Structure 1
Amino acid sequence: MNHLRAKVSTHKIEHGTWKPLAIRRFEPLSVKNLSRIPPSTKTVTFTWDFLRSAFGGSQWSPGLYYIPPSHGPCILPGRTYYALDATYEPYLPEQPGAHGAKLTAFFNINPGDVDGDDAGAAYSDVPLFICASPYSTEKNTRKYTYFGTYSQTRWSDKLDYDHMVEVVPNKVKMYWAEHLSETGRPEWVTEALKKHFWPKPEYAGATFGNGVSTGSVPNEDDERSKVLEDVEAYVNELKSWEKESSMKAKLLKKENILKAFEREDIADPPGLRLWWEYLQCVGWDDKFYTMLANMQRDSPHKG
């Protein structure tokens, strides 16, 4: 009896020819706005030291930098800017004024949840700077090109397993595996890892008014005693979970993350997928660009 062996497909989508559907559906920037963009050969690029000096702030989530109100006045209306490395972001805009997407594993809370209305519109009209972009003619790949102002006009979508394999290069998955397992990762990332791989146990004990007593009318003393007993047990369970999950998160290695990228969604612990953060170009601010170019010209961080 002959047995047919199924061949495992190793098909890969070419990264230079494919883009997420949401990006393809965005309306292009107006011709009038696009006409303001200088050719790549005449574009002024910026050093990271200059951008950090000009804007300040710190990394709020991967690639997004936030300047809190406590730092004083800010030249950025939304108090945020993107500084991204195309080496590990294959779906960023191909050129200034174009749309694109970045990848992320988890999301931090919105700056507005911390600083209220003073935080500004953190994800609207955000200046985008990209280094190592194929578009740039700059020999120094660590210098950043201004691509325009971008807004996240669509909520993020999670990649499925097929796209994790077919459209996310191995070097990108390795980058995220190293980032998520590094010792000095932000606390919010650690909490996100714990929530994903080892979710907090839910309370399943008694509550007031659920009829603890065997009689038709609950006995208040019995009910209170049962609820307090179950709550105490749950608190102890949470303490054990916190200790155990924190230890597991501390021991995470990049190999664990890489295996999670391959694991099934329904596995225990579940597989890990990346998310799209869509970046729609809403303008190219020539006055802002010229201001930065002049500032860098007179700066000790011109590179």
Structure 2
Amino acid sequence: MSEITSNGTKKRKLTTKSCEGDAVITDLPNETLPLKAPGRSATSVAQAAQPVENARPDMRFVLAEPSRLREQVAKLENRNATRFEAESGSPIVIDLTDDDDNTAIPVKLEHGLDAVVDLYNATPLRESVEDDRSSTLSAGGELESPLLPRQSTESTVEFLESVHTKVSQVSVIAQWGMTMPAVVRRFPSVDLQLPPQPNTVFSHRFLKNCFGGSSIANGWYESKGIGRPLQVHLYVLLNRELDPLIPRVPGAHGAQITPELQFSAIKRFPLFIRDSDHSGFRYYGTYKAMRSDFLGHNDMLEVPEHVKNYWASRLGNHAANGLKSGPTVGILKDMWPKVPTGWWDASKKEMTSYTSERGNLEEGLEVLRRSITDQEAQNLSKDEILAAFERNDLDDEPGISMYYEYLECVGYDVELYQTLVSKMNEL
């Protein structure tokens, strides 16, 4: 039987995925409800949740509890000199992990929820990832230590049940060692009204049949909508394994990493994302693409190796006919460093042949450069592209980079989602 809380809402049970051996107190609207960890009494959790000394009453707390929580509570009580500073309403993370414990306990906020507690079941956590470096960057917080592969287990969490599911807080998540660009972190949070079951999966073929159109870039499709059941002129289908910074849940902001520029103007579109362990795509909301930014060498060092390998293969390998496609050649010509062809002496108004030593000896000389030719682009191999990804921006032979395509959530089209579900049920 459901319990009635003091504010008139009712509690119900929800089974979710969590980290084995961990218990998390999740900051939920109106009140904080502790998880019941196996083998732990309510007393030990309650003791750990006591207010920190000198903390303001309007602060909210997020607690990470390792397996030896009871012993660590005593440690926390002895640290009377510790002070926590945070803005009003900002969450504070209390880490009770032993100093000699190498396993970091994830404390992640995603729309006001711990990342392990996936309310919408929209973004399943990866079961096991080698060198998983996921971590959280909260307002004013610091990145957590690299995490070990997660082991999923069943746990139960109580939460307040409302008439509608709302999304009101967007946090910043760092995945595979990459932090979200500052531009994305400054996007305003959104308040979405989601349908009761927002996690229906659609196949690639089904979405193509509904929307039509053809690919204009990596994951981007444009359609005139003629003869199609849904009049959508631009839609985006992304793969999380190849885009570590795309949104984690409906309403979150993110960024696509791509070697090709998409648009020079802001466009709006429905965004669908395929998770690592799913064959279909889920609807994440209506997004708009801001102007792109260039990844510097420091950013490129954080791009996961499997992502760089994927793009090096896409750009370096030839098609079945032995030639790279026209769009691939165009991308390589745009991104590859220009080739020096000579020296221009402005005082003498003459050009001389290029030698790498002369520029260091004489002032007033300018290097003349040209783009690589189509044939030179055809000859670039995967290994050459991978090596260029690793070079510094200001090397004598500069490196190459990719772009951030910023993805800002602006809404959630419930009617579009329900229409897609109805169309799929008709099949």
User: What TM-score, normalized by structure 1, do the two folds share?
Assistant: 0.66
Tell me, yes or no, if structure 1 residue 151 matches structure 2 residue 288. yes
Show the counterpart of 1:247.
375
Distance 1:182-1:77 versus aligned 2 partners, 3 A rule: farther
CA shift in 2, pair 1:99/1:180, >3 Å = same
For residue 105 of structure 1, the aligned residue among 241, 259, 272 is 259
Any idea what SS the aligned residue of 2:267 has? coil
Q: Distance in 2 between matches of 1:157 and 1:259?
A: 22
Higher strand share: 2
**What's the counterpart of residue 217 of structure 1?**
none
The 5-angstrom pairing of residues 53-92 of structure 1 reads: 53-67=209-223, 69=224, 72=226, 79-92=233-246
Measure how far apart 1:128 and its partner are.
0.4
- 1:141 partner SS: coil
Higher relative CO (CA 8 A, sep ≥ 6), structure 1 or 2?
A: 1
Task: For structure 2, list consecutive stretches of 5 or more residues without a partner in the other structure.
Answer: 1-130, 137-173, 175-179, 345-369
Q: 1:50 aligns with which of 200, 206, 218?
A: 206
For the residue of structure 1 that corresponds to 2:373, the secondary structure is helix
* Distance in 1 (alpha carbons) for counterparts of 2:182 and 2:282: 25
Q: Which amino acid aligns with 1:129?
A: F
Q: Residues 38 and 101 from structure 1, CA distance in 2 versus in 1: closer, same or farther, beyond 3 angstroms?
A: farther
Corresponding letter in the other structure for 2:298: D
1:35 corresponds, among 188, 193, 215, to 193
Task: Say yes or no: does 1:24 pair with 2:178.
Answer: no
The 5 Å alignment of 1:161-180 reads: 161-166=297-302, 168-180=303-315
Q: Structure 1 residue 183: deviation in Å?
A: 2.2
Structure 1 residues 151 and 76, CA, compared in 2 at 3 Å: closer, same or farther?
farther
Q: Does the CA-based 8 Å contact 1:149-1:281 persist in structure 2? A: yes
Matches within 5 A, 1:1-303: 14-17=133-136, 18=174, 19-30=180-191, 34-38=192-196, 43-67=199-223, 69=224, 72=226, 79-107=233-261, 123-132=266-275, 141-152=278-289, 154-166=290-302, 168-184=303-319, 186-197=325-336, 199=338, 245-267=373-395, 269-299=397-427
Q: Which amino acid aligns with 2:238?
A: L
Question: The residue matched to 1:87 in structure 2 has which SS?
Answer: helix
**AA at the equivalent of 1:255:** D
| Cα distance in 2, alignment partners of residues 62 and 54 from structure 1 | 19
**Contact 1:23-1:101 at 8 Å conserved across structures:** yes
**Identity of counterpart residues, as a percentage?**
34
3-state SS of 2:374 partner? helix
Q: How many residues align?
A: 228
Q: Is the 8 A contact 2:256 2:406 kept in 1?
A: yes
CA contact (8 A) 2:288 2:410 kept: yes
CA contact (8 A) 2:287 2:409 kept: yes
Shift of residue 198 of structure 1?
5.7
CA contact (8 A) 2:259 2:402 kept: yes
Give the whole-Å Cα distance in 2 for the aligned partners of 1:263 and 1:201.
Answer: 18
SS at match of 2:312: helix
Determine the C-alpha separation between the residues in 2 that align with 1:188 and 1:268.
28
Partner of 1:291: helix, strand, or coil? helix
Name the TM-score, length of structure 2 as normaliser. Answer: 0.48
Question: Counterpart in 1 of 2:359?
Answer: none
CA distance in 1 between partners of 2:254 and 2:334 (Å): 29
The structure number with the bigger radius of gyration is: 2
